[in-house]
Amino acid sequence: MNEFMMIFRSEYNPSFIPSPEQMQASIKQWQDWIGGIAAQGKFVSTNRLSSVGSKVLKPNNVITDGPYAEIKEIVGGNIVVKANNLDEAIHLAEGCPILFVGGHVEVRAVIPM
């Protein structure tokens, strides 16, 4: 079985502030979806990325603060799953909660190092 990374992307919307109820509902959707993958024995790992406190290192050791207001798309996190092939990994991504809020999932094979 191979490993695939699902990268969660969505449009940047600084004015959207979810209510506590919306946050709890979203967390449950994510837990249920990831739990379903884990129940199949295909879960490897997951991470959520912070939207504050980041920095960018550019050539010549130039360091800038981020994220930036002009960003049109953000990467919110990722999950690594086990699947026989890319089509199976895409099938696992079909229930991802990011899809229900206008985001998308990029699925890429992980190359062991």
What are the structural domains, with CATH classification, of the chain? 2-13+22-109 (3.30.70.1060)
Mean pLDDT of the chain: 89
Q: For residue 71, what pLDDT is reported?
A: 62
Higher local confidence (pLDDT), 70 or 34: 34
pLDDT of 82 strictly over 90 = yes
Cross-strand bridge partners of residue 11: 73
Per residue in 27-49, pLDDT (tens digit) is 999 999 999 999 999 999 998 87
To the nearest 10°, report the CA torsion of 49, 73, 85, 38.
Answer: 30
Higher local confidence (pLDDT), 50 or 27: 27
Average pLDDT over residues 59-73: 73
The sign one gets for the Cα dihedral 83, 84, 85, 88 is negative
Q: How many other CB atoms sit within 10 Å of the CB of residue 103?
A: 16
pLDDT of 65 strictly over 90 = no
